[in-house]
């Protein structure tokens, strides 16, 4: 019975912490001026990350348990105890580059940048040119993946620190015509070039979906004419089913 009581108390405490964390995250979003539609899309995106957060918490707790040892028990032992067995968690597969064909636009149903970056690294090493329009800050991406190419930060920030002004290029997510011009100019100067557009969820929250779809339709034609390649990482759960199907039909 003591073990059952301890288990129940631990379970209830974890449940309470989970609810508190969820409500705190929700309240933090309401303070940022998002509309109801934007809140819905962001909440769906956060929901898909639940299992990843749970797995990180599990690994952290198991690691703490491995090194935790009651003092009174440790003093009575003549030799250190064997570490408790830990069931192996899922091992992430190494990033696989995407099989890219000239004139193709690829909607990747995964927000992870591992695959696209592996593909870009391969193309850049063989002399290819690339343009990355990113929701992630370019400096963070360069540091993480060691990629060097033209990068544009997708942000509503209207200015940046003076020390960054000369090296950091950025564009507003609501300025779809300018993003279109950037991609068109790049492909015009770099036939067969590679374009990575990260932040589709961000574009949808800042524009009506039909406008984003029209924007992608125009870009698709430019990619085909330039025999280039475009990759669009996307978490499919943040879109309504009908919107996702419309996107897949146009980008197929």
Contacts 24+ apart (CB under 8 A), 201-205: 201/41, 201/42, 201/45, 201/111, 201/234, 201/235, 201/238, 202/135, 202/154, 202/173, 203/154, 203/173, 203/176, 204/41, 204/238, 204/239, 204/243, 205/34, 205/37, 205/38, 205/41, 205/42, 205/173
**pLDDT at residue number 157:** 75
Most confident of 2-11, 68-77, 198-207: 198-207
| % the chain with pLDDT above 90 | 31
- Quick: pLDDT tens for 114-125: 888 988 898 898
Length of the chain measured in residues: 252
Q: Is pLDDT above 50 for 69?
A: no
Most confident of 13-17, 48-52, 185-189: 185-189
- Quick: pLDDT tens for 77-90: 444 444 444 444 44
* Residue range 34-51: mean pLDDT, rounded: 58
| Residue scoring higher pLDDT (40 or 83) | 40
| Residue scoring higher pLDDT (102 or 6) | 102
User: Per residue in 118-136, is it b (16+ CB within 10 Å) or e — as a string?
Assistant: ebbbebeeeebbbbbbbbe
**pLDDT at residue number 92:** 38
**pLDDT at residue number 224:** 93
Is the sign of the CA dihedral 27, 237, 252, 136 positive or negative? Answer: positive
Q: How far apart are CA 67 and CA 58, in angstroms?
A: 15
- Quick: pLDDT tens for 203-242: 998 998 999 999 999 999 999 999 999 999 988 888 888 9
Q: Give the DSSP letter of residue 79.
A: S
Question: Residues with Cβ < 8 Å from 55, sequence gap 6 or more?
Answer: 89, 90
């Amino acid at each position: 019975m003591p073990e059952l009581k301890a288990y129940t108390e631990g379970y209830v405490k974890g449940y309470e912490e989970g609810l508190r964390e969820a409500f705190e995250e929700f309240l933090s979003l309401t303070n940022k001026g998002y509309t109801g539609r934007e809140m819905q899309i962001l909440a769906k995106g956060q929901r898909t990350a639940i299992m990843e957060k749970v797995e990180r918490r599990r690994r952290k707790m198991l690691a703490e348990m491995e090194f935790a040892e009651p003092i009174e028990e440790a003093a009575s032992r003549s030799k250190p105890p064997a570490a408790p067995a830990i069931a192996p968690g899922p091992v992430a597969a190494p990033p696989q580059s995407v099989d890219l064909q000239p004139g193709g636009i690829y909607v990747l149903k995964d927000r992870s940048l591992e695959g696209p970056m592996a593909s870009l690294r391969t193309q850049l090493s063989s002399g290819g040119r690339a343009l990355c329009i990113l929701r992630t800050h370019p400096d963070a991406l360069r540091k993480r993946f060691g990629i060097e190419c033209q990068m544009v930060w997708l942000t509503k920030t209207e200015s940046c620190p003076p020390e960054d002004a000369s090296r950091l290029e950025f564009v507003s997510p609501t300025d779809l015509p300018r993003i279109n011009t950037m991609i068109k100019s790049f492909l015009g100067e770099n036939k067969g070039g590679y374009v990575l557009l990260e932040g589709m969820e961000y574009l949808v929250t800042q524009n009506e979906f039909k406008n984003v779809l029209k924007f992608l339709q125009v870009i698709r034609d430019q990619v085909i004419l330039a025999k280039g390649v475009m990759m669009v990482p996307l978490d499919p759960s943040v879109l309504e089913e009908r919107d996702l199907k419309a996107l897949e039909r146009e980008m197929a």
